[in-house]
């Protein structure tokens, strides 16, 4: 045994109080005379199941069921992933080329600027963009609310289709800003 283990076991010190080793008493003066290896062997030998100093005779508790905890975790995980996916897809629609181009075109339309104001933008920092946008399939159906510096909220609608395959031309079917009183301001160029 090393010197540090002997110091840990206090083998170098002599004490007047006896130490309990199982059911018998060994004075620490005796422990001080034993080698560290002998102390470890004696401790190991006395630590068996019938020794009350080392074992507790009782029934082990049944393991708890963790079904409820796992169920709560799965429910929270599904809700979190679902909410994150909805936000990610909406952000993708918000930053897509057709939506930004439609907002840019509406900002520079004289009728829209006269009714809503010059500073035309989304109604909030993170607006909800309704509809579908698929460049691969060749269709855009996007609707969202816009507001100008006059504080009037309008509803921008863009519907466009691509004719032909991948490199076909896009044709705008509907592109207007719907006013609160029901009028439609055409934004086609």
Q: What pLDDT, on a 0 to 100 scale, did the predictor assign at position 59?
A: 80
Burial of 158 (0-12, 13-18, 19+ CB in 10 A): buried
Q: In terms of Cα–Cα distance, which of 111, 164, 162, 112 is closest to 141? A: 162
Q: If you average pLDDT over residues 21-43, what whole number do you get? A: 57
**Can you say whether residue 91 is alpha, beta or left, with left for phi > 0 and alpha for psi between -120 and 50 degrees?**
alpha
Residues 6+ apart with CB under 8 A from 79: none
How does residue 163 score in pLDDT terms, banded at 50, 70 and 90?
A: confident
pLDDT at 189 over 60: yes
How does residue 38 score in pLDDT terms, banded at 50, 70 and 90?
A: confident
pLDDT at 12 over 60: no
How does residue 159 score in pLDDT terms, banded at 50, 70 and 90?
A: very high
**pTM here?**
0.61
**Token representation of residue 21:** 């080793």
Helices (H) and strands (E) in the chain, counts: 6, 8
Average pLDDT, the chain: 80
Q: What pLDDT, on a 0 to 100 scale, did the predictor assign at position 86?
A: 95
């Amino acid at each position: 045994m090393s010197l540090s283990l002997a110091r840990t076991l206090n083998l170098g010190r002599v004490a007047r109080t006896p130490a309990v080793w199982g059911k018998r008493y060994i004075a620490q003066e005796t422990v001080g005379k034993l080698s560290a290896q002998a102390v470890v062997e004696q401790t190991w030998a006395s630590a068996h199941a019938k020794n009350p100093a080392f074992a507790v005779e009782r029934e082990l508790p049944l393991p708890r069921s963790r079904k409820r905890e796992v169920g709560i975790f799965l429910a929270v995980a599904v809700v979190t992933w679902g909410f994150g996916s909805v936000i990610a897809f909406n952000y993708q629609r918000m930053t897509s080329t057709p939506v930004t181009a439609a907002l840019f075109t509406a900002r520079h339309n004289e009728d829209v600027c006269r009714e809503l104001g010059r500073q035309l933008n989304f109604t909030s920092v993170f607006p909800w963009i309704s509809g579908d946008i698929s460049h691969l399939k060749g269709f855009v159906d996007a609707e969202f609310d816009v507001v100008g510096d006059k504080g009037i909220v309008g509803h921008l609608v863009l519907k466009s289709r691509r004719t032909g395959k991948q490199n076909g031309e896009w044709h705008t079917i509907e592109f207007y800003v719907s006013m609160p009183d029901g009028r439609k301001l055409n934004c086609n160029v």
